[in-house]
Structure formats: C-alpha cells, structure tokens
Amino acid sequence: MPKMVLAGIEIEVDEDGFIQDPEKWNEEVAKALAETEGVTELTEDHWKVINYLRQYYQQFGIAPMIRKLCKETGFSLKQIYDLFPSGPAKGACKIAGLPKPTGCV
Amino acid sequence: MEGIGYVIGVVLPYAAVGVCLAGSLYKISFWARAPKHLHWELFPYPRTTAGKLEEMVVEVLTLRSLYTYNRRLWLPSLLMHWGIYLLALWLLVLVTGLLSAGFAGMLGTLGGILAGAGSLWLIFRRTGGDLRQLSSPVEYLNLLLIFLLSFGGLITGFLGSTAEVREYLLGILTFSPRVPTNPLFLWEILLGELFLIYLPFGRMFHFAAKYFSYHRVKWGEAD
Amino acid sequence: MRKVFDDYRALSDEMLRSNEVRVPHFLDAMKKSLDRRSNWTFWLPYVLSLDVCMKCGTCAEVCPVYISSGRKEIYHPAVRSELIRKVYRRYFTWPGRLFPGLVGAEDLTEDKLDALAESIYRCTVCRRCAYVCPLAIDNGLIVREARKIFDAIGIAPDELKEKGTRKQLEMGNATGTPTAAFLDIIEFLEEEIEDQRGYKIKIPVDKKGAEYLVMHNAGDYLAFAETVMGAAEIFHAAGVDWTLNSPDTGINDAVNYGVFFSDIEFTEVLKAQIKTIVNLGVKTLVVGECGHAFEAFKYLMLRLIPPSERPFEVKSILELIDEWIREGRIKVDPEKNPEPVTYHDSCKLGRLGGLYEEPRRILKACCKDFREMEPNREMSYCCGGGSGFAIMTKGDFLKFRMETYGKIKAEQLKATGASIVALACSNCKGQFREIINYYKLPLRFAGISELVANALVR
C-alpha cells in the first residue's frame, strides 16, 4: 500500500488516493485530500456534503445513494459536480475519507 | 531432367493431392470436433437455411463485407477471388469435357489474368499504410504464390492449351499418368503441387474455416 | 505511473506484479487456454480467431478506439490480436518455432507482457469488428481470452475482481451494500415515489414464490435510483406478483464481472445467483437494465448450467415492458415525455443480445419525439463503458474513455438534437454520465424504466 503525508501525518492510501483507515480522517486531512482532487477551498457547501457522507457511512457502512445525497443536502447532481469535479463517488467520497465506492456506480 | 520430370509430372501429383486431402480432413475435423462453446452469436443473423445460404453466397461472390467496410481492398480482392473461382471452374470444365475446349481455355486465361492481377494489386496494397505493419512475410508469400501460379499458367501456356493439359489431367485421374509433352508445363505443375500441399495448413484455407466461424459462432448454433 | 503501453494505465504496477517473473506462468496458462478440454467454453471461436485472420484490416475501419485515436497503430484491433498471436505462434505452433521471422512469431518478454496486459484493457469487447469481419474473426474474443490468461496468473483489475466478483460473492453485491442499508434505500425510494407522483406503493422485498424476481444491477440503487423507482412503478402498475431481494437472501446484484475477464469467476457468481433465485422459488428472473447481466443469464448460462438446475425463466425488463405495453397491461401516454429522446444501443443488449425492437417499441410508445442515433443497432458504437471500463478510473483512465469512445458518442449525441438519451445498461449510464459532464452536453440520460414510469397512465 502506498503512503501519503496528509496534513502532517503519514496515512495509507489505495492506488486511487482513498485513505484506508477512516479513523485517521479529520478536517485537516480532508483539506489535504481536497487539494489532491483540485479543490482548493472547502466551503460550507463542501462540508455539508462531506458531513452527510460521513454520517451515512458511519450508520450504514456504505456511501449513500446519490439521489439521497442530493435530497438531503439540497444540491443537484450538477452542483455536486461543481463542488467536486471528479463527482460524488471519486471526488466527494475521497475527501470525506470513505473507501472508494465499488460496483457499477 | 528425365527423372525430375517424372517426379514432378507423375509422382508428386498424387502426393500433393494426398497431402491436400489428408491435411484438409485433419483441419476440418480439428474444428468439427470442437466442444459446443457458450453462445457467442452476433445479432441480427439469418435464421433459416435459405437465409444463411443467401448471405454466404452473396459474401463469397461479391465480398460484401469488404465492399461495405473496407473499400480500398475490395476491387483487388474481388479480382483475385473471381480469378480463383474461374480457375476452379476451368479445371472442372476441362476435366469433365462438358463444354467446348475453347470455352475452357477462355475460362482458364481469364481466371489467370484476374487472379494474377488481383494478387499483384494486393501485394502492393499491403506494402503501404496500416497493412504494412500488420503483415508478416508469410502474407506476401501467400499472395506471391497465387500470383506465380496464375502468371506462370499464362506464360507457359498451361491455362490456354486445353488439349494437352486435358490429356495430362485425365492421365492422372485414370491412374495412367504420363509426363507432359511440354517441358514448360512442369514448372506450372510444380507450383500447383506446392499450392495443394500448402493449402490446408496456411491461411488460404480460410474458405473452410469460414464455415465454422459463421455457422457455429456468429450465427449461433441450434441447441 | 511508469509508461508500459501508452499514456494510460488500467493496471498499476502492483496489479501487474511487475516485480515478479511472469512469462513462464503466462505461457503455462496460455497452454491450458489452448486445450479444448480445459478451456472448452470458447475454444472454437478462439482457435479460429488465432489461426485464420487474413489481416485485411477491415476490423480497424469500424473500431471506435482506432478511429477516434486518429488511427493510432497500437489501437488497431488486429495489431492488438497480433500481440497474442505472435506468442501463440512462437510457443505453440511448428512454423512459429521453426521460422519465427517468416510467420510473425516472437518471444515473450516481461516488458511485452506488461504492454500486452495494458493493451487488452483498451478494448471493450464491443465486437463491432467481429460483426463486419469477412471471416467472422473475433478480436474481442481474443482480448477476453487474454484477460482470462492474465487472471489465471493473478493479474486482473481490482475493480473487477477483488472489489468486483470477490466482493459480490462475499457481500451479496459488488457495491458492498449491507441489508440494513438496502432496506433504508427501499424505504427512501417508496418515499420518493410518493413525493414525486403523489401515490404510495409498496416495494416488495424477499417475497418467496413471487412470479417475478427483479434483479437490478446493485449499482443502480446507489447511482441510478430513477431506474429502480421506474421499474417499481411499472411492476406496480402491471399489478403482478413481484419482488426485489436483499443481500440476506444471497446475491442481490445482477452483475457478473466474470463476463469481462474470467470464466471461473463468471461461473462462481452465476451459480451463487442461481442458488439465490432457486431458494426464492420465483417463476421468472427479470434482469434489470444491465447489458452484461442480460448476456450472462440469457445466453452464456445456457450451455454452462443444465436446465434442471435453473428452473426459472429469464427475461430482460425490456422484453417484459414491451409485452405489457402491447398487451395493454400497462397504459402509457407519450405526451408525458414531450422532449426529444434518442436511444443508445448497448452492445450487450443489441449486437450481443438481439434486443433492437423492444426498446424502440417501448420508447416510441412512451415518448412523443423519438429519434434514432446514427449509426445504430448492429453498427452502434460502444459508449466506452463496456467490459468493465465504466468502473475503471485509475489515474487518467477516465480520460482515455472520454477521448476515444466518448468522443464519438458525444458527436453522435449532439447530432440527434435530443435532450434525453435513453439507456438500458448501467455501464452505459456510468459512461454517459461522464461523457455529458466531460463534453458539457446539453442533455441528460434516463433509464428506459424511468421514461416508461413517467408516461404511465393510471
């Protein structure tokens, strides 16, 4: 497993840069991950998405449905793409410290 | 020379035909014995025997796939294939004697011209563009063999001299072979023998492979 | 990442096991693949395709990757097949052993093996080339067989294997959705339907002995929920006895990534799916909007699993909707979908599945302005999501998908002037989502079920 130094700590990431241990995640790590995704600043809107993703993941062990994510945060899919250019799965989940979504998503 | 002539004109024809038949049988049974594979057809495909026959005949006679998708190769390839069809017909007409000798000579000559021109054209087509990268020496050799066979048939007079050739072929078929009177013919006969021996083992055998790839694979196979 | 073939990498060094000696293992596995008994599943088309290519290059003239790349030699389908054939001739044929230079036979090296492994993940096995080949030679099949050889020596994309077939067998679906999350999803979908349509429907889950078991691609629940909702509304409107299933029952995911790279993985997933279906005791398995799942259940299963072990019927959701509309079991009003709609023929449903008329009849019944995309049907261009590509995004791989297959598709879409592209395959949906975003196209995609549900008259 490759390692990356994010916000001063060494963290294991997979080949796509998703952190492997969700426990290592904190807001500083999120900011560092955001930079790897070309998101230079995490605004309130970004946090709304990130927090919802984390909360759902902690409850169910998986990222939420995209439709539910949109509904709960009030953003359209297009707005989510504007916030996270690589999209909800590859972009938002990565910054939120979730594992990379699998299957046909 | 006497000895070589005997070998080429009398012995090798049987050997060549034998190898060709045995090789063909081997290759065909190699494919025919294949286990029934998982469904892998492509849609749409003709479902009736008549429909399948029609598609195959149109493909064989007009090379429709090349015409539609790869026009650059279509005309040279069509010339060569028609040349080969005519040469096969020439052989048949000549041996059976069903039609006039003059007609047979015409078939042979025309077949030789078309197959020779087509194969030569294809050799040139192959030396440029994408095909050059794709081709190994064997691709050129296959075409060269067809070209030499057709061209040789024309310049030695083998394809036009119906009476002598017929006599020679009938001699072979009736198992009373004789060395042909015209020594030039031996060259052509030798090329023909090489062709027969090589045929089942090279890619020119695709006419048989095609049966399997169409009927058994692309068009599915009844359960 | 290190360059091994072109500017992209589908497999990382770790997946390629590039620090190991692999050539002898590869040759062993290839030897087995050429044996008609140990590899009977596609043996005939495989050996025919290895032996009788005339190298006319007709395949290249219709290959989306080759055309869109500006005719780059490395993407020529027959050049790719030749990479395999050169090894085949060198090690497994007499002419290749004796006269390698003459017949185009070459030694395999570790570097060539890397390039080969990457090369076979630049083709989606769309089989457009096989359709036009004068000899019906199949470059796609050669690619798939090569993927099988690589898998046999432990080289396969983790998206398809570790996080694909393996995960599906372990969790019941490749998305890793546990039952609690699945039930939460269903509840949410019921609420959404009520919010959107103003009526309540119950989505049955794990109902034993139902007439229809609808098995979606599990990714649809997470990413394309509109398709799942649409299907639920349609089955409800048809008034039939149906059910979805949760991971509690076994496998609740129609996908089978084994189709893309391994007969062994394919068979294992298929058997687990069949076991689930048989345990539920349903009459008919309805394959949701997923191309390769349809291919797997409708065709590949037939000669692999004896009929007595699969006592259920298989239908695509498209076949069923089409039947119901024609029978008048469900009523639709095209005025409810007034926007111009076009349809993309998924390779697996069309060229490989023969479903050309069903989606067209459905869309013409449900949409006011249906437009064909050109070319279509058997000459449809693969969207670029096929054979697992839709979920492969390592490094710049998405860019490869967009700049090759995606580029052609974007042009085709623009030419239709449609504002909705109807899709019936999850991989296509994943790919179109990216195409629309990448090329900033002024349209959206929709599942067929979604459009039908929109047009339902109650």
Chain C residues with beta carbon closer than 8 angstroms to that of A68: 185, 188, 225
pLDDT of residue B128: 85
pLDDT exceeds cutoff 60 at B79: yes
Give helix then strand counts, H and E, for chain A.
Answer: 6, 2
pLDDT tens digit string along C76-103?
999 999 999 999 999 999 999 999 999 9
pLDDT of residue C458: 85
Using a 10 angstrom Cβ sphere, with 0-12 exposed, 13-18 middle and 19 or more buried, the burial of residue C209 is: exposed
Which residue of B130, B137, B213 is in closest CB contact with C57? B130
Query: Measured in Å, how far apart are chain C's first and last C-alpha atoms?
Result: 56
What are the structural domains, with CATH classification, of chain C? 13-152 (1.10.1060), 161-322 (3.40.50.1860), 329-455 (3.40.50)
Using a 10 angstrom Cβ sphere, with 0-12 exposed, 13-18 middle and 19 or more buried, the burial of residue C131 is: buried
> Chain A: residue nearest C391 by CA?
A104
Alpha-carbon gap, residue C143 to C127, rounded angstroms: 10
Phi and psi angles of residue C314, each rounded to the nearest 5 degrees, phi first: -125, 130
**How, if at all, do strands A9-12 and C212-215 pair?**
unpaired
Chosen for mutation from A59, A83, A104, A105 (greatest number of chain C CBs closer than 10 Å) is A104
Inter-chain contacts counted by CB atoms under 8 A, chains B and C: 143
Residue B135: closest CA among C108, C53, C96: C53
Whether residue C306 lies within 8 A of chain B, CB to CB, comes out as no
The mean pLDDT of chain A is 92
> Chain B: residue nearest C127 by CA?
B42
**Residues B188/B156, Cβ–Cβ less than 8 Å:** yes
Residues 6 or more apart in contact with residue C331 via CB below 8 angstroms: C456, C457
Strand, helix or coil at C216? coil
**For residue C373, what are its two tokens?**
């995309």
CA B88 to each of CA B110, B115, B171, C340: distance values in angstroms, whole numbers, following the listed order: 12, 11, 19, 56
3-class DSSP string for C20-58: CCCHHHHHHHHHHHCCCCCCHHHHHHHHHHHHCCCCCCH
> Chain B: residue nearest C50 by CA?
B203
CA C336 to each of CA B108, C69, C332, C368: distance values in angstroms, whole numbers, following the listed order: 69, 40, 8, 8
**Residues A68/C138, Cβ–Cβ less than 8 Å:** no
pLDDT of residue C437: 92
What distance in Å separates residue B160's CA from the closest CA in chain C? 31
pLDDT per residue of chain C (458 residues) written in tens, 0 to 9: 899 999 999 999 999 999 999 999 999 999 999 999 999 999 999 999 999 999 999 999 999 999 999 999 999 999 999 999 999 999 999 999 999 999 999 999 999 999 999 999 999 999 999 999 999 999 999 999 999 999 999 999 999 999 999 999 999 999 999 999 999 999 999 999 999 999 999 999 999 999 999 999 999 999 999 999 999 999 999 999 999 999 999 999 999 999 999 999 999 999 999 999 999 999 999 999 999 999 999 999 999 999 999 999 999 999 999 999 999 999 999 999 999 999 999 999 999 999 999 999 999 999 999 999 999 999 999 999 999 999 998 889 999 999 999 999 999 999 999 999 999 999 999 999 999 999 999 999 999 999 999 999 98
pLDDT of residue C119: 98
Touching chains B and C? (3+ Cβ pairs < 8 A): yes
Alpha-carbon gap, residue A8 to C229, rounded angstroms: 45
Alpha-carbon gap, residue A103 to A87, rounded angstroms: 16
Amino acid symbol at C204: P
User: Contact C354/B43, CB-based, under 8 Å?
Assistant: yes
pLDDT of residue B222: 64
> Chain B: residue nearest C72 by CA?
B130
Catalytic residue among A5, A43, A59, A104: A104
Whether residue C71 lies within 8 A of chain B, CB to CB, comes out as yes
User: Contact C188/A87, CB-based, under 8 Å?
Assistant: no
Beta partners for C313?
C284
Chain C residues with beta carbon closer than 8 angstroms to that of A60: 178, 180-181, 184
User: Contact C45/B217, CB-based, under 8 Å?
Assistant: yes
User: Contact B40/C45, CB-based, under 8 Å?
Assistant: yes
Which residue of A61, A66, A87 is in closest CB contact with C222? A66
Alpha-carbon gap, residue C448 to B213, rounded angstroms: 34
Residue C56: closest CA among A65, B46, B142: B142
Neighbours of chain B (3+ CB pairs under 8 A): C
What distance in Å separates residue B175's CA from the closest CA in chain C? 34
User: Contact A103/C175, CB-based, under 8 Å?
Assistant: yes
Which residue of C164, C176, C253 is in closest CB contact with A62? C176
Alpha-carbon gap, residue C276 to C224, rounded angstroms: 24
Q: Which of residues 83-122 of C touch B (CB under 8 A)?
A: 95, 101-104
Task: Assign A23 a pLDDT band (cuts: 50, 70, 90).
Answer: confident
Q: Dihedral sign, CA of B165, B169, B175, B177? A: positive
What's the whole-model pTM score? 0.96
Chain C residues with beta carbon closer than 8 angstroms to that of A66: 222-223, 225
What are the structural domains, with CATH classification, of chain A? 3-96 (1.10.10.370)
Chain A residues with beta carbon closer than 8 angstroms to that of C180: 60
Which residue of B42, B44, B213 is in closest CB contact with C48? B213
Residue C289: closest CA among C365, C201, C229, C206: C229
What are the structural domains, with CATH classification, of chain B? 1-8+73-223 (1.20.950.20)
Catalytic residue status for A70:
no
pLDDT of residue A29: 93
Alpha-carbon gap, residue C181 to C186, rounded angstroms: 9
Whether residue C353 lies within 8 A of chain B, CB to CB, comes out as yes
Count of beta carbons in the 10 Å neighbourhood of residue A61: 14
Residue B69: closest CA among C60, C342, C417: C60
Residues 6 or more apart in contact with residue A17 via CB below 8 angstroms: A4, A33, A36, A94
